[in-house]
Amino acid sequence: MAVSACVGATDEQQRELLEHGTALFPAACYHDDLEREEVPWHWHDEVETTVVEAGAAILSVGGVEHLVEQGDGFFINAGALHRIWPARPGACRLHATIFHPRLVGGSMDSIFWQSYLQPLLSDPCRQCICFSQTVPWEREALQAVERAWRACAEEPPGYEFRMREALSWEIFLLSQHQPPVQKAPSEKALRDTERIKAMLQFIQEHYGEELTTARIARSAAVSASECLRCFRAMVGTTPIQYVKQLRIQKAAELLASTGQRIADIAAACGFQEMSYFAKTFRTVKGQAPSQYRTEKQGRPAP
């Protein structure tokens, strides 16, 4: 199974559109170089388990940021909105495996699903579990994660069995080691999550248009001040800054994959002035749009 970067398009609710594996074997492995491209806000129906191969990363889930050092890792539950970026300048690479729970749980009426998967998937306190090499059971989980990734990347005979065994063991370890007692997310936190998803959906559908904080707020039936509070609490930035980041992300995807004129891409992504687009793109990506396209496609931009 080929290893690729896991930075994919998302649907209207920021749910990732990338299919991880196949219906026959719903799992895939990825090598992410965060020095080149961070993992933007998204969520998926599968669970994700990752080891930091080099450098250090910051994982943001549920309004909480986690510093993950080299050799450590994390588990992200299904449906959890998250983002990952380098903790500091320099190399930052991840080994990620994303798989549907049915790979290890089987049918929903199986003992595997009911005893091990369902309690984990339905626990609002376990959107994210970080693994440290200094904790024995977490080190064992990290080893299982790396075994699964290696099996997927190298595809030895029977790699599907090896992957399923390693990931099943990780799930077992998680089931046996509950986190310290903590409060479940409050009704307010759950409400904020739903509001954020509604506003992200609206932005995804209208990023090419003129957007204001007030217009974004109306999509979730909240005030402009409440919209600002939700974004700062859940996403860590303002609505307008998020829109700008998304527009640059969409423009980068078009520059890398199409032959459209740069001016047309800028307009389609909501930038009315070419000079402002070029300046913003360079600030975010560290190079001009034309240079970015040449690097990605190996040809000059029209």
pLDDT per residue as tens digits for the range 148-175: 999 999 999 999 999 999 999 999 999 9
Given this model, what pLDDT does residue 6 score?
A: 52
Residue 3 predicted with pLDDT over 70: no
Residue 209 predicted with pLDDT over 90: yes
User: Mean per-residue pLDDT for 81-102?
Assistant: 94
Residue 19 predicted with pLDDT over 80: no
- Share the mean pLDDT of the chain: 89
User: Mean per-residue pLDDT for 250-258?
Assistant: 92
Given this model, what pLDDT does residue 300 score?
A: 57
Given this model, what pLDDT does residue 124 score?
A: 84
What domains lie within the chain, and their CATH numbers?
27-176 (2.60.120.280), 187-297 (1.10.10.60)
Quick check: 30 and 4 in contact, CB under 8 A? yes
User: Mean per-residue pLDDT for 166-187?
Assistant: 84
- pTM of the entire predicted model: 0.77
